[in-house]
Amino acid sequence: MLRDNMVKVVVNGVGTIGKRVAEAVKKQDDMELYGLSDVSASGGLRTVLSEDGALHKTSLYGSSEDGVENLREDGMHVEGVLEDVLGEVDVVVDCTPPGIDEKNKENLYEPNDVKAIFQGGAPKDIAPVAFNADANYEEAEGEDFVKVVSCNTTSLSRTMSAVDENFGVEHAVASLVRRGGDIPQDGRGPINSTVPVTEVPSHHGPDVQAVMPDLDIKTLAVKVPVTYGHVHMVNVELEQEANEEEVLEAFEEQPRVSLVSAGDGYDSTGKIHERMRDLHSERSDMHEAAVWEETVTVENGTLYWIHMVHQEAIVVPDNVDAIRAMFELEDKDTSIKKTNDAVRIKSVP
């Protein structure tokens, strides 16, 4: 039950995902960013709260008493400790590192009776629902705890649900080429190496199955020296016949899948990155999974394609939708449309 007609949201953990979710919440008309919470002042936190930053004048809390102190020592203006205001908050979007999220649930959210959303790195059993708006919005309706799945899983859930609903998936295999680290993570490698995930199939398959339990999907993965974007090479045995136009149409109709054309000049992750810059997308973010349209191919009942995932941004709209589902504010299609309009998700011409 809502305390007000606007959902009051706190984002706890203002890193890569947290700062983006906070900004996205601010753009919605049915929810309010009550505040941020963290335990120290990273460059990111410092900047988003600075005079020119995206979250200037947002209230800042310490996630713990120590956190309050650290933040103050770092020169930040802190309102107090998060727990003291949880009584006025409807939901916390927890974007803290794996391990911390679990403790927060036990020590902060459950005792204070506040709903919470967790991210892809959280343990499976932290919430009854592994969430992707396109694939299973309804399952989160009314829930107190929801886990929004990771970036790779989100892109696979979006594309696979489009294919599965339209043509049926007999068996799917996705080969993931993951980025080594994000733009500011200069301490992460590899330099000049390709690093396989030697556990085969990798965990990404079961992660998708947490969202789509009936999907037969296996994944393999490697890590490479890039900072912007994972790329997936996918092959799917279809249950029903389909031709390429039908598949392209199914992708086009998926509200968070974009078709990009190599022929128009977008033939690498760097060129798509530039495209998002040219669109003045904030932080050069791409919220859609981007399928290279030339790669969509059907041969002998097998469908192939290659898509790109912007690892920092793709889960942001799903976090917003999860809030709506948990408070049963809107049905799936309306929520997705509202979020998309607010954060300017659109198809690539």
The Cβ of residue 226 has, within 10 Å, a number of other Cβ atoms equal to 16
Which residues form the catalytic set?
A: 151
**Omega into 184 within 30° of 0, i.e. cis?**
no
Distance, in Å, from the CA atom of 92 to the CA atom of 80, rounded to the nearest integer, reads 16
Smallest gap from residue 71 Cβ to its own copies (A): 14
Q: Which of 96, 107, 100, 120 has its CA nearest to residue 14?
A: 96
Q: Which is nearer to its own copies, 2 or 195 (CB)?
A: 195
Nearer to its own copies, 118 or 305 (CB): 305
Query: Of 124 and 346, which has the nearer Cβ to its own copies?
Result: 346
d(CA 242, CA 168) in angstroms, rounded, equals 10
Shortest distance, position 68 Cβ to its own copies, whole Å:
19
308: closest CA among 228, 231, 243?
231
CB of 79 to its own copies, least distance (A): 20
Q: Which is nearer to its own copies, 273 or 332 (CB)?
A: 273
Closest separation between CB of residue 152 and its own copies, Å? 14
Residue number with CB closer to its own copies (146 or 205): 205
Q: State the minimum distance, in angstroms, from the CB of residue 78 to its own copies.
A: 17
Q: How far is CA 229 from the centre of its chain?
A: 13
Rg (CA), the chain: 20
User: What SS3 state is found at 159?
Assistant: helix
- Do 12 and 35 contact (CB within 8 A), yes or no? no
Tokens 């403790």 -> residue: 103
Q: What are phi and psi of 239, to 5 degrees?
A: -80, -40
CA count, 13 A, side-chain hemisphere, 332: 14
Is the CB of 167 or the CB of 292 nearer to its own copies?
Answer: 292
Query: Which residues pair with residue 309 across a beta bridge?
Result: 230
In angstroms, what is the minimal distance from the CB of 242 to its own copies? 15
Whole-angstrom Cα distance, residue 278 to residue 20? Answer: 19
